[in-house]
Amino acid sequence: PASDASRELAGRLVEVLDLFERTCTDNEQELGRLDAVAGDGDHGQGMCAGSRGGTAAAHRALERGAGARTVLVHAGTAWSESAGGTSGALWGAALTAAGGAFDDESGSDDARTVAALVAGVDAVRRLGGAQVGDKTMVDAAVPFVETLRAEYDRTGDLAAATSAAARAAREAADKTADLTARLGRSRVLGAKSVGTPDPGALSFSLLMEALGGHLGS
Ligand code: ADP
Ligand code: MG
Ligand code: MG
Protein backbone atom coordinates (compact mmCIF):
# COMPACT_ATOMS: atom_id res chain seq x y z
CA PRO A 1 0.00 0.00 0.00
CA ALA A 2 1.06 3.56 -0.64
CA SER A 3 2.20 5.89 2.14
CA ASP A 4 0.08 8.90 3.10
CA ALA A 5 2.78 11.20 1.68
CA SER A 6 2.74 9.48 -1.70
CA ARG A 7 -1.07 9.50 -1.82
CA GLU A 8 -1.01 13.22 -1.11
CA LEU A 9 1.45 13.72 -3.98
CA ALA A 10 -0.74 11.49 -6.18
CA GLY A 11 -3.67 13.82 -5.46
CA ARG A 12 -1.61 16.75 -6.69
CA LEU A 13 -0.61 14.86 -9.83
CA VAL A 14 -4.28 14.16 -10.53
CA GLU A 15 -4.94 17.92 -10.30
CA VAL A 16 -2.29 18.42 -12.99
CA LEU A 17 -3.98 15.78 -15.17
CA ASP A 18 -7.33 17.57 -14.70
CA LEU A 19 -5.61 20.73 -15.90
CA PHE A 20 -4.12 18.92 -18.92
CA GLU A 21 -7.60 17.67 -19.83
CA ARG A 22 -9.04 21.20 -19.63
CA THR A 23 -6.17 22.60 -21.68
CA CYS A 24 -6.71 19.97 -24.39
CA THR A 25 -10.45 20.70 -24.45
CA ASP A 26 -9.83 24.45 -24.71
CA ASN A 27 -7.49 23.92 -27.69
CA GLU A 28 -9.18 21.00 -29.45
CA GLN A 29 -10.35 22.95 -32.49
CA GLU A 30 -7.07 24.76 -33.06
CA LEU A 31 -4.99 21.56 -32.75
CA GLY A 32 -7.29 19.80 -35.19
CA ARG A 33 -7.09 22.68 -37.64
CA LEU A 34 -3.26 22.64 -37.55
CA ASP A 35 -3.15 18.84 -37.99
CA ALA A 36 -5.51 19.08 -40.98
CA VAL A 37 -3.04 21.21 -42.94
CA ALA A 38 -0.62 18.35 -43.62
CA GLY A 39 -1.91 15.51 -41.40
CA ASP A 40 -5.26 13.88 -40.78
CA GLY A 41 -6.83 16.54 -38.59
CA ASP A 42 -7.34 14.43 -35.49
CA HIS A 43 -4.72 15.83 -33.11
CA GLY A 44 -7.25 17.83 -31.07
CA GLN A 45 -9.54 14.81 -30.79
CA GLY A 46 -6.65 12.52 -29.91
CA MET A 47 -5.32 14.81 -27.17
CA CYS A 48 -8.81 15.24 -25.72
CA ALA A 49 -9.58 11.52 -25.74
CA GLY A 50 -6.15 10.65 -24.31
CA SER A 51 -6.21 13.22 -21.55
CA ARG A 52 -9.81 12.34 -20.64
CA GLY A 53 -9.04 8.61 -20.45
CA GLY A 54 -5.76 9.15 -18.62
CA THR A 55 -7.31 11.50 -16.08
CA ALA A 56 -10.25 9.19 -15.42
CA ALA A 57 -7.89 6.26 -14.79
CA ALA A 58 -5.79 8.41 -12.46
CA HIS A 59 -8.90 9.37 -10.45
CA ARG A 60 -9.90 5.71 -10.15
CA ALA A 61 -6.41 4.70 -8.99
CA LEU A 62 -6.36 7.54 -6.46
CA GLU A 63 -9.73 6.47 -5.07
CA ARG A 64 -8.32 2.97 -4.57
CA GLY A 65 -5.50 4.48 -2.48
CA ALA A 66 -2.69 4.39 -5.06
CA GLY A 67 0.51 6.41 -4.66
CA ALA A 68 2.24 8.73 -7.11
CA ARG A 69 3.99 6.13 -9.23
CA THR A 70 0.95 3.88 -9.61
CA VAL A 71 -1.35 6.79 -10.47
CA LEU A 72 0.92 7.99 -13.29
CA VAL A 73 1.53 4.50 -14.67
CA HIS A 74 -2.23 3.89 -14.86
CA ALA A 75 -2.77 7.31 -16.42
CA GLY A 76 -0.17 6.60 -19.10
CA THR A 77 -1.62 3.24 -20.06
CA ALA A 78 -5.13 4.66 -20.27
CA TRP A 79 -3.97 7.74 -22.24
CA SER A 80 -2.44 5.53 -24.95
CA GLU A 81 -5.47 3.27 -25.14
CA SER A 82 -8.01 6.10 -25.19
CA ALA A 83 -6.25 8.32 -27.70
CA GLY A 84 -5.06 5.95 -30.39
CA GLY A 85 -2.72 7.66 -32.84
CA THR A 86 0.93 8.50 -32.67
CA SER A 87 0.79 11.30 -30.14
CA GLY A 88 -1.39 9.20 -27.82
CA ALA A 89 1.19 6.42 -27.70
CA LEU A 90 3.94 8.98 -27.05
CA TRP A 91 2.04 10.83 -24.30
CA GLY A 92 1.09 7.53 -22.68
CA ALA A 93 4.71 6.40 -22.65
CA ALA A 94 5.78 9.79 -21.28
CA LEU A 95 3.36 9.61 -18.33
CA THR A 96 4.31 6.03 -17.52
CA ALA A 97 8.01 6.91 -17.66
CA ALA A 98 7.41 10.00 -15.50
CA GLY A 99 5.70 7.71 -12.98
CA GLY A 100 8.92 5.70 -12.82
CA ALA A 101 10.70 8.71 -11.32
CA PHE A 102 8.30 8.58 -8.35
CA ASP A 103 7.47 5.71 -5.97
CA ASP A 104 4.52 4.88 -3.71
CA GLU A 105 6.41 5.84 -0.53
CA SER A 106 7.91 9.31 -0.84
CA GLY A 107 6.12 12.62 -0.84
CA SER A 108 6.55 15.69 -3.03
CA ASP A 109 10.12 16.55 -4.04
CA ASP A 110 11.10 19.17 -6.62
CA ALA A 111 14.24 17.38 -7.85
CA ARG A 112 12.18 14.24 -8.44
CA THR A 113 9.61 16.26 -10.37
CA VAL A 114 12.36 17.56 -12.65
CA ALA A 115 13.60 13.97 -13.09
CA ALA A 116 10.05 12.85 -13.94
CA LEU A 117 9.70 15.52 -16.64
CA VAL A 118 13.08 14.58 -18.10
CA ALA A 119 12.16 10.87 -18.05
CA GLY A 120 8.90 11.62 -19.85
CA VAL A 121 10.66 13.46 -22.65
CA ASP A 122 13.35 10.76 -22.88
CA ALA A 123 10.61 8.17 -23.38
CA VAL A 124 9.11 10.21 -26.25
CA ARG A 125 12.51 10.44 -27.92
CA ARG A 126 13.23 6.73 -27.46
CA LEU A 127 9.86 5.49 -28.64
CA GLY A 128 9.35 7.94 -31.52
CA GLY A 129 12.95 8.14 -32.69
CA ALA A 130 12.52 11.73 -33.88
CA GLN A 131 15.42 14.18 -33.95
CA VAL A 132 15.19 17.91 -33.40
CA GLY A 133 14.27 19.45 -36.76
CA ASP A 134 11.96 16.61 -37.85
CA LYS A 135 8.99 18.86 -37.04
CA THR A 136 7.47 16.84 -34.18
CA MET A 137 6.77 17.40 -30.49
CA VAL A 138 10.46 16.62 -29.90
CA ASP A 139 11.27 20.06 -31.33
CA ALA A 140 9.48 21.60 -28.33
CA ALA A 141 10.31 18.91 -25.76
CA VAL A 142 14.10 19.11 -26.13
CA PRO A 143 14.42 22.87 -25.48
CA PHE A 144 11.89 22.35 -22.66
CA VAL A 145 14.09 19.88 -20.77
CA GLU A 146 17.29 21.78 -21.54
CA THR A 147 15.87 24.99 -20.11
CA LEU A 148 14.21 23.17 -17.20
CA ARG A 149 17.47 21.53 -16.13
CA ALA A 150 19.56 24.69 -16.53
CA GLU A 151 17.09 26.98 -14.71
CA TYR A 152 16.35 24.49 -11.94
CA ASP A 153 20.08 23.93 -11.33
CA ARG A 154 20.68 27.69 -11.34
CA THR A 155 17.77 28.80 -9.11
CA GLY A 156 16.27 25.72 -7.40
CA ASP A 157 12.84 27.21 -8.17
CA LEU A 158 10.72 24.51 -9.81
CA ALA A 159 7.75 26.70 -10.75
CA ALA A 160 9.88 29.43 -12.32
CA ALA A 161 12.10 26.90 -14.10
CA THR A 162 9.05 25.10 -15.50
CA SER A 163 7.52 28.35 -16.73
CA ALA A 164 10.80 29.42 -18.36
CA ALA A 165 11.10 25.98 -19.97
CA ALA A 166 7.50 26.19 -21.22
CA ARG A 167 8.26 29.57 -22.82
CA ALA A 168 11.28 28.02 -24.59
CA ALA A 169 9.04 25.14 -25.74
CA ARG A 170 6.42 27.56 -27.07
CA GLU A 171 9.00 29.57 -29.02
CA ALA A 172 10.41 26.37 -30.50
CA ALA A 173 6.91 25.12 -31.34
CA ASP A 174 6.10 28.38 -33.13
CA LYS A 175 9.38 28.10 -35.07
CA THR A 176 8.44 24.66 -36.40
CA ALA A 177 6.27 26.57 -38.88
CA ASP A 178 9.46 27.14 -40.91
CA LEU A 179 10.18 23.40 -41.21
CA THR A 180 9.09 20.61 -43.54
CA ALA A 181 7.63 17.59 -41.72
CA ARG A 182 9.64 14.41 -42.17
CA LEU A 183 7.98 11.96 -39.77
CA GLY A 184 4.53 10.73 -38.94
CA ARG A 185 1.55 10.94 -41.26
CA SER A 186 2.44 14.40 -42.40
CA ARG A 187 5.67 13.18 -44.04
CA VAL A 188 3.55 12.31 -47.08
CA LEU A 189 2.42 15.90 -47.34
CA GLY A 190 5.49 17.36 -45.64
CA ALA A 191 5.92 20.33 -47.94
CA LYS A 192 2.32 21.39 -47.28
CA SER A 193 3.20 21.89 -43.62
CA VAL A 194 5.59 24.78 -44.29
CA GLY A 195 4.06 27.91 -42.76
CA THR A 196 2.09 25.92 -40.17
CA PRO A 197 3.53 24.87 -36.79
CA ASP A 198 3.58 21.21 -35.80
CA PRO A 199 0.42 20.47 -33.78
CA GLY A 200 2.18 18.04 -31.43
CA ALA A 201 4.90 20.59 -30.64
CA LEU A 202 2.22 23.19 -29.93
CA SER A 203 0.14 20.91 -27.69
CA PHE A 204 3.27 19.94 -25.75
CA SER A 205 4.08 23.60 -25.10
CA LEU A 206 0.46 24.39 -24.12
CA LEU A 207 0.41 21.61 -21.51
CA MET A 208 3.78 22.68 -20.10
CA GLU A 209 2.63 26.32 -19.93
CA ALA A 210 -0.38 25.14 -17.94
CA LEU A 211 1.87 23.08 -15.66
CA GLY A 212 4.19 26.02 -15.05
CA GLY A 213 1.25 28.26 -14.16
CA HIS A 214 -0.18 25.63 -11.83
CA LEU A 215 3.12 25.09 -9.98
CA GLY A 216 3.48 28.85 -9.56
CA SER A 217 -0.03 29.42 -8.22
P1 ADP B 1 -1.56 10.76 -35.80
O2 ADP B 1 -0.36 11.32 -36.54
O3 ADP B 1 -1.44 9.29 -35.55
O4 ADP B 1 -2.85 11.21 -36.41
P5 ADP B 1 -1.78 12.89 -33.84
O6 ADP B 1 -2.40 13.69 -34.91
O7 ADP B 1 -2.49 12.86 -32.54
O8 ADP B 1 -1.48 11.41 -34.32
O9 ADP B 1 -0.33 13.43 -33.50
C10 ADP B 1 0.48 13.99 -34.50
C11 ADP B 1 1.70 14.56 -33.80
O12 ADP B 1 2.50 13.50 -33.29
C13 ADP B 1 2.62 15.33 -34.72
O14 ADP B 1 2.22 16.67 -34.83
C15 ADP B 1 3.97 15.19 -34.03
O16 ADP B 1 4.20 16.24 -33.11
C17 ADP B 1 3.84 13.91 -33.24
N18 ADP B 1 4.66 12.85 -33.82
C19 ADP B 1 4.45 12.11 -34.91
N20 ADP B 1 5.45 11.22 -35.10
C21 ADP B 1 6.33 11.43 -34.09
C22 ADP B 1 7.58 10.85 -33.71
N23 ADP B 1 8.13 9.84 -34.40
N24 ADP B 1 8.20 11.33 -32.61
C25 ADP B 1 7.66 12.33 -31.90
N26 ADP B 1 6.49 12.92 -32.20
C27 ADP B 1 5.83 12.47 -33.28
MG1 MG C 1 -3.28 13.32 -36.67
MG1 MG D 1 -4.56 10.01 -36.80
pLDDT digits (tens, 9 = 90+) for 54-78: 999 999 999 999 999 999 999 999 9
Q: Is 32 in the pocket of ligand 1 (CB under 6 A)?
A: no
Q: Which ligand is nearest to the CA of 203?
A: 1
Q: Is 42 in the pocket of ligand 1 (CB under 6 A)?
A: yes
Across the range 136-147, mean pLDDT stands at: 98
Average pLDDT, the chain: 96
- Gyration radius from the chain CA atoms: 16
Q: Ligand 1, residue 198: give the atom nearest the CA.
A: 14
Cα 105 to ligand 1 centre (Å): 34
pLDDT at 185: 55
Whole-angstrom distance, CA of residue 64 vs CA of residue 214? 25
Q: Which residues contact 122 (CB under 8 A, 6 or more apart)?
A: 97
**Domain that includes residue 31, residue range:** 4-216
Across the range 162-177, mean pLDDT stands at: 98
Amino acid identity for residue 173 in this structure = A
Closest CA to 48 of 72, 70, 29, 73: 29
Whole-angstrom distance, CA of residue 106 vs CA of residue 5? 6
Whether ipTM tops 0.90, in short, is yes
pLDDT at 191: 82
179 backbone dihedrals φ, ψ, rounded to 5°: -95, 160
pLDDT tens by residue, 80-126? 999 989 999 999 999 999 999 999 999 999 999 999 999 999 999 99
Cα 7 to ligand 2 centre (Å): 35
Q: Could you tell me the sign of the dihedral formed by the alpha carbons of 132, 136, 140, 144, in that order?
A: negative
CATH of the domain at 138: 1.25.40.340
Whole-angstrom distance, CA of residue 189 vs CA of residue 201? 18
For 169, other C-beta atoms within 10 Å of its C-beta total 30
Q: Given a cut of 80, is residue 183 above it in pLDDT?
A: no
Residue 4's SS3 state is helix
- DSSP class per residue in 182-208: -SSGGGTTGGGGTTS--HHHHHHHHHH
For the chain, how many structural domains are there in total?
A: 1
Q: Is 86 in the pocket of ligand 1 (CB under 6 A)?
A: yes
Q: Given a cut of 70, is residue 186 above it in pLDDT?
A: no
Q: Given a cut of 70, is residue 189 above it in pLDDT?
A: no
Q: Is 44 in the pocket of ligand 1 (CB under 6 A)?
A: no
First to last CA, the chain: 31
